[in-house]
């Protein structure tokens, strides 16, 4: 998707969460890094329409996040930092089926869609299990499957490898790398975004650096050292 920020600002009363930002994004993999409270989450919420700009505008393929909010939300998916917060049904297969079912898919077509996404992420064996039985990495894959089955063009990830061990981190990293969909990844896991085409560094509510993964990480390390 072509993501365009045109002097978009986000305020909560007198507090500026994100200073006016103009940005043109179309890369397949975009990383977002920065210290806590730097503006990363505000940026992501402006992209998917969960927050409306206080001034300026944000568009995705020409869709305005305010005027065309329903279309924007239909075209984007969001993976929570804690995937357990978005898996709401007691059986994984039923949870994955919920999204396409709510959009009118049913019968054999619904079953085929669920089977296909389970196979795509190699989690068919998890279909009949309950969320509390899964590892952190498996939960992330189940949440990702539940988003991908609705066919978004863009998926946003909020700290997808947070608190995962090396094995589960590798599972999630491989899943993100395999996506055909465009992805924006907010992360403190610098290795995860090291090879991304574009990485944005936020600091104190503003975009501090915009460039390739390695250079962006080096800039972020300078900020963190201050």
pLDDT of residue 15: 94
pLDDT of 19-48, one tens digit each? 999 999 999 999 999 999 999 999 999 999
Give per-residue pLDDT as tens, 76-109. 999 988 888 889 999 999 999 999 999 899 999 9
N-terminal to C-terminal alpha carbon distance within the chain:
35
Nearest to 222 by CA among 30, 33, 40, 39: 33
The residue extents of the domains of the chain are 3-225
- In the chain, the percentage of residues whose pLDDT exceeds 70 is 100
CATH architecture of 3-225: 3-Layer(aba) Sandwich (3.40)
What's the confidence (pLDDT) of residue 90?
Answer: 94
């Amino acid at each position: 998707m072509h993501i365009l920020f045109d002097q978009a600002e986000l305020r909560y009363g007198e507090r500026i969460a994100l200073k006016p930002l103009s940005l043109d994004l179309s890369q397949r993999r975009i990383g977002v890094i920065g210290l806590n409270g730097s503006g990363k989450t505000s940026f992501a919420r402006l992209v998917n329409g969960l927050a409306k700009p206080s001034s300026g505008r944000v568009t995705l393929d020409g869709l305005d996040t305010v005027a065309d909010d329903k279309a924007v939300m239909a075209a984007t998916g969001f993976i929570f930092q804690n995937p357990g917060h978005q898996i709401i049904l007691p059986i994984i297969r039923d949870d994955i089926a919920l999204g396409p079912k709510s959009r009118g898919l049913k019968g054999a077509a619904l079953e085929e869609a669920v089977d296909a996404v389970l196979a795509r992420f190699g989690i068919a064996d998890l279909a009949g299990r309950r969320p509390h039985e899964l590892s952190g990495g498996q939960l992330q894959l189940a949440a990702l499957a539940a988003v991908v089955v609705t066919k978004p063009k863009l998926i946003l990830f909020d700290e997808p490898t947070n608190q995962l061990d090396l094995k589960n981190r590798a599972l999630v990293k491989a899943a993100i790398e395999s996506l055909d969909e465009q992805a924006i990844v907010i992360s403190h896991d610098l290795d995860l975004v090291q090879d991304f085409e574009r990485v944005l560094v936020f600091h104190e509510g503003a975009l501090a650096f915009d460039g390739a993964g390695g250079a962006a990480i080096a800039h972020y390390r300078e900020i963190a050292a201050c």
